[in-house]
Amino acid sequence: MTDLLSPSTPHHSSSAAHPADLSFELLGEVRGWRDGIELPLGAPRQRALLAVLLLRAGSPVGRDYLIDGIWGDSTVLDGANLVQAYVSKLRKLFEPDRRPRTAGGVLTRVGASYRLSIGLQQCDLGRFEQSVADARALWDAGQLDAAERTLAAALSQWPGPALTGVTGPLLDVERTRLAELRLAVVEEHTELALELGGHARLVPHLLVLTAEHPYRERLWALLMAALYRGSRQADALAAYQRARHALMENLGLLPGPELRGVEEAILARRPDPFARVTTPAEGPGRATEPRHPHLTLVGPAPLATPSAPHSTTRGPGSAGATRLAR
């Protein structure tokens, strides 16, 4: 079976050749529109084929890769003919005015491969990627309010779970990866909202998230910080004990360095529970790590352990309204 987890870098160009009247969604059900009218994308296998092509948009996708990714190890008769039939039906949907036996401009054949050519903004996953990149740039530029609004808007456009209604070995892996991606961006948004002084509104939001993801240490750290900044030191320390119990009882693991560091900062009553005290070798001030994790937002990637949470040098922010997304 073809290696389904090989990372690739899909290419979305901004060429005018991309038909502006086509748009697609993956962050929920797999759907498509032409001229604002929803397209009848056909049977689940045909939608699955489209989903794989969308995840690799701009890159040739081999026929055998499609067969393996959609059907896996199950016996499929005439897989090549089925793929060709699905491609033919999708071409008619995307370019109904194309003359028979003429090359299409959207879904083309490249040897034994197929390539779907669409622009970044024509798929909701691409728009999400761009919005997160824009938010990080705003955050790095010190425009925290604008960054928070951009992340909140991006998350509000993700109805989830991604790739609903389609199955296959590749798509099952991608669904897990995209769920992990969304949760990591939720953590970024929550941290930013916390900096803007939204700790009071964040507490109930984080209580739900830690209940849903009890082994996600970053969420516990954010809950502890939100409680602490709301003058609830005892509740923050109690949250640490709940996190420690969940990790120890179910996984046999001790809390990681960041979670222990937040507990130590709260016990020492330091203003910023995320600040890391430097050693003499590190010099004056506080050492920091990158402000946000580097995530691959579009295209397949190997599943891996989430990046370690990062420390920051920022203390409690000024009060301000914040929008929360789950």
Domains plus CATH for the chain?
22-121 (1.10.10.10), 166-282 (1.25.40.10)
Both structure tokens of 240: 């640490």
Hey, what's the torsion of the CAs at 34, 40, 42, 48, to 10 degrees? Answer: 40
Share of the chain above pLDDT 90, in %: 68
Q: What is the mean pLDDT of residues 294-307?
A: 36
What are 107's strand-pairing partners? 116
Give the number of other CB atoms < 10 A from CB of residue 141: 10
**pLDDT at residue 102 in the model:** 66
Alpha helices (H) along 157-273: 169-195, 199-212, 217-229, 233-251, 257-267
Report the alpha-carbon distance of residue 214 to residue 130 in Å, rounded.
30
For 72, other C-beta atoms within 10 Å of its C-beta total 15
Burial 235-272 (b: 16+ CB within 10 A, else e): ebeebbeebbebbeeeeeeebeebbebbbebbeeebeb
How far does CA 215 lie from the centroid of its chain? 18
Average pLDDT, integer, range 79-90: 93
Q: Give residue 165's pLDDT.
A: 92
Q: 60, 83, 302: which is closest to 173 by C-alpha?
A: 302
The pLDDT of residue 99 is above 80: no
CB 124 within 8 A of CB 24: yes
Task: Count the Cβ atoms, other than its own, within 10 Å of residue 56.
Answer: 26
Higher pLDDT pick, 255 / 295: 255
Three-state DSSP string of 21-50: CEEEECCCECEEEECCEECCCCCHHHHHHH
Which region among 9-18, 62-71, 211-220 has the lowest average model confidence (pLDDT)?
Answer: 9-18
Write the pLDDT tens digit of every residue in 21-51: 899 999 999 999 999 999 999 999 999 999 9
pLDDT single digits (tens) 137-177 = 999 999 999 999 999 999 999 987 999 999 999 999 999 99
Q: Identify which of 71, 298, 310, 30 has the alpha carbon closest to the alpha carbon of residue 166.
A: 30
Strand 107-110 to 37-38 pairing: unpaired
Name the residue with tokens 């009218």.
37
Average pLDDT along the chain:
82
Cβ within 8 Å of residue 119, ≥6 positions away: 12, 13, 14, 15, 18, 126
Q: What pLDDT, in 10s, does the model give residues 223-274?
A: 999 999 999 999 999 999 999 999 999 999 999 999 999 999 999 999 989 8
Read off the tokens for 5: 């987890």
Residue 186 neighbours by CB under 8 Å, 6+ apart: 155, 209, 325, 326
Residue 113 near residue 122 (C-beta atoms within 8 A): no
